Amino acid sequence: MPPSPPAPRGARRRALRRYVSPLLLIALWQAAAMAGLISPRTLAAPSAIMAAAWDLSVTGALPYHLLVSLARVAAGLAIGLGTGTGLGLVAGLSRNGEDAVDAPLQMLRTLPFLGLVPLFILWFGIGETPKIALIALGTTFPIYLNLFAGIRGVDRRLVEAAQVFGLDRRGQIRHVILPGALPSALVGLRYAVGVGLLSLVVAEQINADAGIGFLINDARDFLRTDVIVVCLLVYALLGLVADALVRGLERRALRGRPTLLAGSAV
Amino acid sequence: MSGSVRIRNLSRGFGARIVLDRLDLDLAPGEHVALLGRSGSGKTTLLRTLAGLDPVPDDAEIQLPRPLAMVFQEPRLLPWKPVWQNVALGLEGADIRARAERALREVGLAGHLDAWPATLSGGEAQRVALARALVREPGLLLLDEPFAALDALTRLRMHALVADLWRVHAPTTLIVTHDVDEAILLADRAVVLEGGRIVADIVIDLDHPRRHGDPGFAALRQRLLARLGVVEG
């Protein structure tokens, strides 16, 4: 028997070692806070942050506001997904559609959409509408752009093969063009989820009376840096979970296509 | 007559370049014709026009047996459909899977029904493409350099397979090839295209199965190569 290579154990030790410096930093932070070197007004101690997270959870405040935020981002994302998919299909599948849809969307895309907040407040007031509208707008573009590019990037030779074997335009779209555009569309979805969360953070700064953003603003008024950090961590966690969900969806939808990115299996 | 191909006065050009020049061509029912020619001689354009991928000019007359099936130089399988669904693409009616399975068994891939195309070798993928063409019992089979991308050994096996399949299915076949040996091994007739016109039409009346060492093989080979502008020392 050959001796087992030392690589796995070394790799695991290295992976563990990567946790050392972050943990050390947190310990330093805790020590500095306890020694009075960092005022709680500047940044709460890690222990205080954990306590705040516990408090917010057991009182039900955090779950409630988290649900409000999730509902916002879900509503905005649903609208953005619908609009982006609809426009992407129209522009991707017909030349006339492209002429009508693509130019205005490419122009709008160059606007920094987060800068539209003042306009949205004037148009929609300060309720839920401008918040959801901002998320919807932000998520429309990545969906549209990637679906459009995906449709146009479908291998022409595969469409020809389907044509020779008697598929009409509908059949070609269903069996060749849409499945071919799917990987690109899913990249768009992943982007959209990220943009949606970013838009949520910005949108919730607009006079919210509920949601994670409201918790942050409220905590700011009471100088509760511990609560602010908890909320920021929740935002970060949302991003991680959403990305993992979309990746899982990708793996399911793209099974059987190992060489898909290379596009060589035709 | 059904099963026969009749092409009259087919011209095609791209800009100033003439690709097909008032071409006439007939294929008898069940006949296997090899189409040879240097690159740019119009072979592929002719095949694409017959397949309906390029438009037919108004003043041309084309009669083809249907249904029509084609095997391309690359397998052109849909990577998101398992093998049997690729074979069944565009088929309608009941027991489609059973029909696909029969066709796959004919090309020796009965065990690969549910495999993904990306897991197949080049030769296997091309056999799936062949099954996809034969499953619809074509009246006309168009082969566009179907074995050009395969290695020499796999190509030999594919020649034997095609010869076998022709004993069961008898579609009228037009096979575009660069390979003079392939034409002599498989076809009843070799047509040489140059400048969009037919410059040679040679009957290959060797007995089947054919081998490179058969009497007459070398002479035919020389004749065809000469027509293609290659002189062997």
Question: pLDDT digit string (tens) for A25-39?
Answer: 999 999 999 999 999
B207 located within any domain: yes
What average pLDDT score do residues B63-70 get? 94
Instruction: Please report which confidence band the pLDDT of residue A58 belongs to, taking 50, 70 and 90 as the band edges.
Output: very high
Predicted pLDDT at B61: 95
Please list every residue in chain A whose beta carbon sits closer than 8 Å to the beta carbon of residue B143: none
In a domain, B110, yes or no: no
Q: How large a percentage of chain B has pLDDT more than 70? A: 99
**What pLDDT is attached to residue B40?**
82
pLDDT of residue A255: 79
Is residue B218 included in any domain, yes or no? yes
Whether the predicted pLDDT of A148 surpasses 60: yes
Looking at the complex, report in whole angstroms how far the Cα of residue A261 sits from the nearest Cα belonging to chain B: 11
Residue B124 has pLDDT above 60, yes or no: yes
In a domain, B120, yes or no: no
* Domain of residue B175, residue span: 5-67+137-227
Average pLDDT, chain B: 92
Q: Which of A137, A142, A141, A106 is nearest to A203 (CA)?
A: A137
- Position A254 pLDDT exceeds 80: yes
pLDDT interval class at A263 (50, 70, 90): very low
Top-ranked range on mean pLDDT: pick from A2-6, B38-42, B56-60 = B56-60
Asked whether residue A128 carries a pLDDT value surpassing 90, the answer given is yes
The reported pLDDT for the residue numbered B47 is 95
Per-residue pLDDT, A265: 36
Kindly determine whether residue A266 and residue B51, on different chains, have CB atoms separated by under 8 Å. no
Q: What pLDDT sits at residue A125?
A: 92
Say if B138 is an interface residue toward chain A (CB within 8 Å).
no
B185, part of any domain: yes
Q: Is residue B113 part of a domain?
A: no
Interface contact A160, partner B, CB < 8 A = yes
> What was the ipTM of the complex prediction?
0.92
Q: What is the pLDDT of residue B215?
A: 84
Of B69, B76, B79, the CB nearest to A257: B79
Q: Of A113, A87, A80, A117, which Cα lies nearest the Cα of A102?
A: A87
Task: Give the nearest chain A residue to B122 (CA atoms).
Answer: A265
Q: What is the mean pLDDT of residues A47-54?
A: 96
Please tell me the distance from the alpha carbon of residue B13 to that of residue B29, in angstroms, as a whole number: 29
Q: The domain spanning residue B154 has which CATH number?
A: 3.40.50.300
- In DSSP notation, B87-143 reads HTTT--SS-HHHHHHHHHHHTT-GGGTT--GGGS-HHHHHHHHHHHHHTT--SEEEE
Number of structural domains found in chain B: 1
| pLDDT above 60 for B82 | yes
Is the pLDDT at A261 greater than 50? The verdict is no
pLDDT value of position B231: 72
Instruction: Give the model's pLDDT for residue A10.
Output: 80
Helical H runs in chain A? 7-34, 46-58, 61-93, 95-110, 117-124, 128-152, 156-164, 169-172, 178-203, 212-221, 225-253
- Identify the structural domains of chain A with CATH numbers, from first to last: 49-253 (1.10.3720.10)
Q: Do A182 and B52 touch (CB under 8 A)?
A: no
pLDDT digits (tens, 9 = 90+) for A152-186: 999 999 999 999 999 999 999 999 999 999 999 99
Average of per-residue pLDDT across B54-72: 94
Taking CA–CA distances from B116, the nearest residue in chain A reads: A256
**DSSP H stretches of helix in A153-177:** 156-164, 169-172
Q: Is residue B65 over pLDDT 50? A: yes
What is the average pLDDT value for chain A, to the nearest integer? 91
pLDDT of residue A257: 73
Q: Is the peptide bond before B29 cis (omega within 30 degrees of 0)?
A: no
Pick from A100-104, B52-56, B207-211: least confident: B207-211
pLDDT at B1 over 60: no
pLDDT higher than 90, residue B168: no
A264 pLDDT tier (thresholds 50, 70, 90): very low
Quick check: B51 and A258 CB within 8 A? Answer: no
Please check the confidence at residue B189 and state whether its pLDDT lies above 90. yes
pLDDT for res B216: 87
Residue B178: inside a domain: yes
The reply to whether B202 falls in a domain is yes
Query: Smallest Cβ distance to A256: which of B69, B76, B80?
Result: B80
Mean pLDDT across the stretch B35-42?
A: 89
